[in-house]
Each structure stands twice: as structure tokens, then as C-alpha cells.
Structure 1
Amino acid sequence: MSGVFAVTTRTVPTGTVLAFAGELDSGTAPAAHGAMTKLSLNAGDQLVVDLAGLEFCDSSGITVLVSAHNLARGAGAGFALAAVSRQLGRTLDILGLTGLFATYPTADDASAAWSPAGSREDGVV
């Protein structure tokens, strides 16, 4: 089903924003993983995955999100999702993953809320 997919990254004072746009599925997940391997995360940073441009996400995409979370936590960084669609939020809830991800309406909101000293071990702020 792979359609148009784009990955962009930007550095913000709290860390990195990784934005996915288009369709995140089995055909585009390798590109998402490839972008993640190029990230430079430091302890105390926050990785925000911005989903504002995401139109579709299948199980391969969910795996990408979990991998991004694990990458951040492995580096001692925080993790948050931004602009989670209603449909994706429902899917994450059904899968029991809502407790894994801190979520915010926008990437800017996630960055504004980040406090490495005040974050909990599970990554939820």
C-alpha cells in the first residue's frame, strides 16, 4: 500500500523533532528506520515524533514508533508523540500502548513541556 512518505528532522533546544508525513507502512518503514539511525540523541534530550502530516499508519508504522521510543530511552533521552490522529490514538489504546507514549497536540507543546529533571522513568511527563 506504500504511498508518498517523507521524513524530516529538526533540532530544537530540547533535542530533536522527527516528522513523518504521508503513509507509514511496510513499504515506508525502512525509510523511517533509516532516518532514526542518523539521529544523534544525548542523555537529557527529548525526541519528539511529529505525526501532524501522517495520513496512514499500519502495524509496521506502530513498530517504528515503538523503535523510536526504545532508541530515545536507550540514549537516556525522553520521548513524545505529537499530533496523534484520533484513529491512531484509538489503535494505540487498543494495543495497550498509550501508557508508553507521552502525547501532545503539537511538537512545540511537547518541547515546551519537556523537563529532563522532572521526567519519570517511563517517559511519561
Structure 2
Amino acid sequence: MQATVTDTPSDVAVLRLSGELDADTASDLHKLLAELLERPVPRIVVDLSDLKFCDSVGLSAFITAKQVIAARGGWMSFAGGNRFLVSLLGTVGLSRYFAIFPDVDDAIAAAQM
């Protein structure tokens, strides 16, 4: 898995993931999320458009981060997931806890409403 973080003018961090998020790469995601969670009010859009695969270990990183984000009054949403990932998020019930948008721009626009 490769990851980059881009800050937007609206103070939203876009975390772009590519490749495969699994047991071998989840620790990298945990580190990145830990840095983002240091912000006073974490606002994160996870761009899944180039992520090809995610297993349960990867999903658990998002669940753990969600608890910290909620406690700090922030939010995390997903954008651009392929059919497999959107289906996976729905199957495991994460679509009830995270907003899922077609693309990053839609996710950022929804946050500003």
C-alpha cells in the first residue's frame, strides 16, 4: 500500500491510498492515521480510488481511528471506492458509521454544508 496526505484549503486532510491494504501494510496506515488524529479536530477524507484490496486488518484501522475522531468532534469519510470496496464496507456494516461518496470533491463539499 502507498499513501499520501494532502491538506485542502477547507482544513480537510485527504488520505489517498493505493495498492493493497492488508495485514502486511496496515501498520503503515495506523501510523498515518495516528499523525492525522493529532490535529485538534480531525477531518479526513480517505480516497479509495486507487485502493485495489482491503482486508479485515485494514478495516480495523479505520474503526479504531473513528473512535478517536468522534471523541474530538471530527469526522472521517470515504470517497471513490471501487465496487468491491463499497460492497465490503456495506457488508461489514461500516457504511452505517462512515459516509461514502463517489469522489473526493463530493466528500469535501458535503463537509462544508
Alignment match of 1:104 (pick from 79, 83, 101): 101
Q: Secondary structure at the match of 2:94?
A: coil
2:70 to 67, 70, 73: 73
2:40 aligned partner? 42
The alignment's TM-score, normalised by the length of structure 1, stands at 0.79
- The percent identity for this pair of structures is 33
How far apart are 1:57 and its partner, in Å?
A: 0.5
1:63 aligns with 2:78: no
- In structure 2, give the amino acid aligned to 1:107: V
Structure 2 letter corresponding to 1:10: T
Q: 55-64 or 25-34: which moved more?
A: 55-64
- Specify the SS of the correspondent of 2:93: coil
**1:27-84 superposed Cα distances (whole Å, 9 cap, x missing partner):** 00000001111124333x5211111110111111111222232332232112210112
**For the aligned residues, what is the CA RMSD?**
1.6
1:84 aligns to what? Answer: 81
SS at match of 1:50: strand
Unmatched 5+ stretches in structure 2 = none
> Counterpart of 1:7 in structure 2: which amino acid?
A
The alpha carbon displacement at 1:22 in A equals 0.6
Could you list the runs of 4 or more consecutive aligned residues of structure 1 that deviate by over 4 angstroms after TM superposition?
none
* Residue number in structure 2 paired with 1:7: 3
Larger displacement relative to structure 2 (29-38 or 84-93): 84-93
| Structure 1 residue aligned with 2:27 | 30
**Aligned partners of 2:102, 2:11: CA distance in 1, in Å?**
17
The structure richer in helix per residue is 2
The answer for unaligned runs of 5 or more in structure 1 is: 119-125
Residue range with higher mean Cα deviation, 80-89 or 27-36: 80-89
Tell me which structure has the larger Cα radius of gyration: 1
